[in-house]
Amino acid sequence: MRQAVALLIMTSMGALFLTSGTANAKPFDGPEAVGATLAAGILTGIACWTVELATEDDDEEVEPRDDDYDRRGWFVGLQGVYAREDYDIDREERNIDSQSNFKLEFSLNNHDAGGVRGKFGRRCHSRFSVEFEMEWLDDFAGKVVDLSDGMVASDIKFSTIAGTINTKGYLLTGRVQPFVLVGVGAMSVRGENNAKGSNKSSQDDGHLVARFGGGIDFYVTRHWVVSGQADYVYSATNLESTNYISVGFGAMYRW
């Protein structure tokens, strides 16, 4: 029961953090997306606890082994991330055109961004674990061009924070452990618009997202793990133009 409660607390804290960036979003783009993240955390926490109860007789060893890399327990990790945008440019142009009396063109002049991701979770079975992942990216950038004179009308910069509840499945359970993952959560997007001849403005939007990915964990010791992971983050609601691919590399500690 303690495992499920801890996962619920972990998810609630992440959901409350994301709420600060999604409070003014449109229906199902903000608070509802955070609610979906919280619901996912509750369900995965219950599932994790259920799996542990159902298989607790499988791990009745008095002394821990040096090679029990598939043991149950908590983990925490941190990675540096490189991301490449998969923005829907045509959709973004339609949104901009609908708000202007002039024909405008949107393009990206910075297609990648850097950031960090942190994760905290529990391995509840030799083949499965659940985790809360928070990923911050900065410096996606674009520009809006007025087609009537070819001049840049404004510069736009994007930064994102995505929090997802992930379920991981391990293909191997030895020192080297390739895995696949799927997750659902919320993403807060901050857009800063530096329009020519006017003041700089910003806007926050929040949306439901899905995460699909995989990677490899390599156990250097029983507790320290070197981990690499590649994901595709897809915006499932109105921010389809903010999809991206992220690749991260870092370390994880297992209790």
| Domains of the chain by residue range | 2-87+117-139+158-254
Q: What is the average pLDDT across 150-165?
A: 81
Q: What is the DSSP letter of 144?
A: E
* Residue 100 pLDDT level (bands cut at 50, 70, 90): low
User: Residue 255: what pLDDT?
Assistant: 93
Q: What is the average pLDDT across 204-210?
A: 80
List the end-to-end C-alpha distance of the chain, in Å, as a whole number.
18
Q: What is the average pLDDT across 122-135?
A: 93
Q: Which two tokens stand for residue 122?
A: 């529990």
Q: Is the pLDDT of residue 218 over 60?
A: yes
Q: What is the length of the chain?
A: 255
The beta strand positions in the chain, using DSSP E, are 73-85, 104-110, 112-125, 128-146, 151-170, 176-195, 201-219, 224-235, 244-254
Fold that domain 2-87+117-139+158-254 belongs to in CATH: Porin (2.40.160)
Q: Is the pLDDT of residue 227 over 80?
A: yes
| Cα dihedral sign, 93-94-99-102 | positive
* Residue 94 pLDDT level (bands cut at 50, 70, 90): low
Q: Is the pLDDT of residue 26 over 90?
A: no
User: Residue 123: what pLDDT?
Assistant: 94
Query: How far is it, in rounded angstroms, from Cα 76 to Cα 235?
Result: 26
User: Residue 103: what pLDDT?
Assistant: 58
Q: Is the pLDDT of residue 19 over 90?
A: no
Q: What is the average pLDDT across 177-183?
A: 96
Opening angle at CA 143, ends 141 and 145, nearest 5: 170
Query: How far is it, in rounded angstroms, from Cα 89 to Cα 144?
Result: 11
The average confidence (pLDDT) of the chain is: 76
From residue 180, alpha-carbon distances to 125, 217, 244 in Å are: 15, 11, 18
- Pair type for strands 128-146 and 224-235: unpaired
Sequence-distant contacts of 64-71: CB under 8 A, at least 24 apart? 64/222, 66/222, 67/174, 67/175, 67/222, 68/222, 69/173, 69/174, 69/175, 69/177, 69/219, 69/222, 70/123, 70/126, 70/127, 70/170, 70/173, 70/177, 71/123, 71/126, 71/254
User: Residue 48: what pLDDT?
Assistant: 75
DSSP per position, 1-68: -HHHHHHHHHHHHHHHHHHTTTTTPPTTTSHHHHHHHHHHHHHHHHHHHHHHHHTGGGG--SS--TT-
Contact 83, 204 (CB under 8 A): no
Greater confidence, 177 or 48?
A: 177
Q: What is the average pLDDT across 5-14?
A: 50
* Residue 239 pLDDT level (bands cut at 50, 70, 90): very low
